[in-house]
Amino acid sequence: MRARPAVALSVLTALTLTAPVLAAAPATAAPVATAATAASGVGPGQSTTPAAFVPLNIRRLLDTRDARETPAGQARPLNPGESFDVPLSAWKSHPEREVPVVPKEATAVLVNVTVTNPSTDGYLTVRRDGDMPGPPATSTLNFRAGETISNTIAVAVAPPGSAKGPQINLYNNAGTTHVVVDVLGYYAPTGTDKYDAVQPTRLVDSRISGGRLGWGSIVSPKVATAELGTAGAKAVVLNVTAAEPSTSGFVTAYPSGEPYPSEGSNLNYAPGRTTANQVVVPVGADGRINVFNTGSTDLVVDIVGFYGPSGHNLFSAVTEQPRLLDTRYGSALMPFATRVLPVAGGNTGVPPTATAATLNVTVTGPGAGGHVDVFRADDIRPGTSSVNFNPGQTVANGVTSELGDVPGAVGIYLHSAAPAQAIVDLTGFFTAG
């Protein structure tokens, strides 16, 4: 760990999101899907063309708190039941106002979405478009009144030739809330970086070495190495956890050797609440990344995969996200036990040849604190974590997991002293290509 060089206070103020002290309490869980929705699959023609990844340095697409960062030039929160289109462009106060960030040929985009200062408990869904009637049957992000929380999701974009152009849609189910959207990269036929999973490995755990992080601290783990199987990686897929923070703060990851981003964040946390988020970040020329922290917290960083020319797998996003599991229909996850969840084949619509999947995993109603680990079902549990939670909390996190041979399945391990309910929605999958 090393101290971060000075950063202008004005820049940090612009990035900071409201995160008041909150007691652990339940949030509105993801909606309970009907039986038909739960069984529906992506099916032929309901996923995007397989494509490679193009990593981007984190860049802000939307901030509803700032008129300069919104398509309509108006600062306002999303209203209850509102479906809000987000063009994949940056918005500035000087001409030209709209600056395209994601090209028209993109099939899907990877975004970090943050809800801040919601007026009530609720959930937000990130999807391709808002043309489907009624509210969506799945959720991306669950929140409590007044809190700030983030999640990363890969989502299909409007197809080429669409009158809407490249965009995504946000649906807010209840109350009013501000939303911030940062883009991390996109998938396109012209991309050159393919995905490979690696054995989930812990790179950083300040609870064991290095000590608790304070304001302005940076950790710089080596992420592109032959030992990890990531040599030549252009971007890495991580799960980053702020463990038992004592203050509010946020974390931003960026390539080593490059300037600190002028906007954007990957993980927002509040005192006493262990919080995790999936992070995809370009790799610096020295094979390292920087993870910058603004509060007082322990930090855990796990690596699960990478993108690069040596990768072997292309990504397809589902155009309408189906629900694969909702234990509220039946039996909860049991303490210190693994449940096997088939993802590929069967009625999911995911091809049997799929090698990995991107999932949105929500834990709700846990009787005790703990974490869930999602991993290749036929492999030894890696000892990392995917979703962290407090008693009674509802929390979601994006997960990228290799699929096992049982067939095409993931294992979901509950590390907790009491049962918990789990909801798993499919956002996309990888195939060799």
Residue 288 per-residue DSSP state? B
Distance CA 38, CA 328 (A): 12
Residue 39 confidence (pLDDT) above 50: no
Distance CA 400, CA 427 (A): 10
Residue 373 confidence (pLDDT) above 80: yes
Q: Does 132 map to a domain?
A: yes
Band (pLDDT 50/70/90 cuts) for residue 26 is low
Lowest mean pLDDT among 164-173, 368-377, 391-400: 164-173
Residue 11 confidence (pLDDT) above 80: no
Distance CA 80, CA 172 (A): 6
Task: Find out whether 56 and 182 touch, Cβ atoms under 8 Å.
Answer: no
Of 32, 1, 18, the C-alpha closest to 270 is: 18
Of 99, 37, 88, 91, the C-alpha closest to 64 is: 91
What range defines the domain where residue 213 resides? 2-20+192-308
pLDDT in tens, 283-305: 999 999 999 999 999 999 999 99
What is the average per-residue pLDDT within 201-224? Answer: 94
Six token digits for residue 361: 């995993």
Q: Does 382 map to a domain?
A: yes
What is the average per-residue pLDDT within 216-231? Answer: 96
Distance CA 388, CA 242 (A): 10
Task: Say whether both 92 and 147 belong to one domain.
Answer: yes
Residue 21 confidence (pLDDT) above 70: no
Q: Is 3 helix (H, G, I), strand (E, B) or coil?
A: strand
Task: Say whether both 202 and 295 belong to one domain.
Answer: yes
Distance CA 190, CA 102 (A): 12
Residue at 205: amino acid letter: D
> What length does the chain have?
433
pLDDT in tens, 59-90: 999 999 999 899 888 899 999 999 999 999 88
**Domain count for the chain:** 3
pLDDT in tens, 381-427: 998 999 999 999 999 999 999 998 877 999 999 999 999 999 999 99
Give the domain CATH number at 54.
2.60.120
What is the average per-residue pLDDT within 22-47? Answer: 51
Distance CA 164, CA 36 (A): 29
Terminal alpha carbon distance of the chain: 39
Q: Does 162 map to a domain?
A: yes
What is the average per-residue pLDDT within 334-351? Answer: 90
Task: Say whether both 296 and 321 belong to one domain.
Answer: no
CA distances from 40 to 262, 320, 341, 373 (A): 42, 10, 15, 25
pLDDT above 90 covers a percentage of the chain that reads 74
Alpha helical stretches, state H, 308-397: none
Task: Say whether both 277 and 218 belong to one domain.
Answer: yes
pLDDT value at residue 155: 96
Phi then psi for residue 327, to 5 deg, are -70, -10
Residue at 318: amino acid letter: V
Q: Does 393 map to a domain?
A: yes
Burial class of residue 72 (count of CB atoms within 10 Å of its CB; 0-12, 13-18, 19+)? exposed
Distance CA 242, CA 247 (A): 11
Segments of 370-416 assigned E as strands: 370-376, 387-389, 395-402, 409-416
Residue where a domain terminates, one of 137, 170, 188: 188
Q: Who has greater pLDDT, 153 or 46? A: 153
Q: Does 148 map to a domain?
A: yes
Six token digits for residue 38: 């739960």
pLDDT value at residue 20: 35
Task: Say whether both 340 and 427 belong to one domain.
Answer: yes
Task: Say whether both 249 and 321 belong to one domain.
Answer: no
Task: Say whether both 222 and 108 belong to one domain.
Answer: no
Task: Say whether both 74 and 108 belong to one domain.
Answer: yes
Mean pLDDT for the chain?
Answer: 87
Task: Say whether both 352 and 415 belong to one domain.
Answer: yes
Dihedral of the alpha carbons of 177, 392, 111, 159, in degrees to the nearest 10: -90
Distance CA 78, CA 66 (A): 13
Task: Say whether both 388 and 422 belong to one domain.
Answer: yes
Q: Does 29 map to a domain?
A: no
Residue 9 confidence (pLDDT) above 70: no
What is the average per-residue pLDDT within 175-189? Answer: 97
Task: Say whether both 136 and 229 belong to one domain.
Answer: no
Sheet containing strand 83-87, edge to edge, reads 83-87, 167-172, 122-127, 141-143
Q: Does 26 map to a domain?
A: no
Residue 36 confidence (pLDDT) above 70: no
Residue where a domain terminates, one of 125, 154, 188: 188
Q: Does 418 map to a domain?
A: yes
Residue where a domain terminates, one of 284, 308, 332: 308
Task: Say whether both 110 and 134 belong to one domain.
Answer: yes
Of 165, 28, 47, 185, the C-alpha closest to 112 is: 185
Q: Who has greater pLDDT, 29 or 89? A: 89
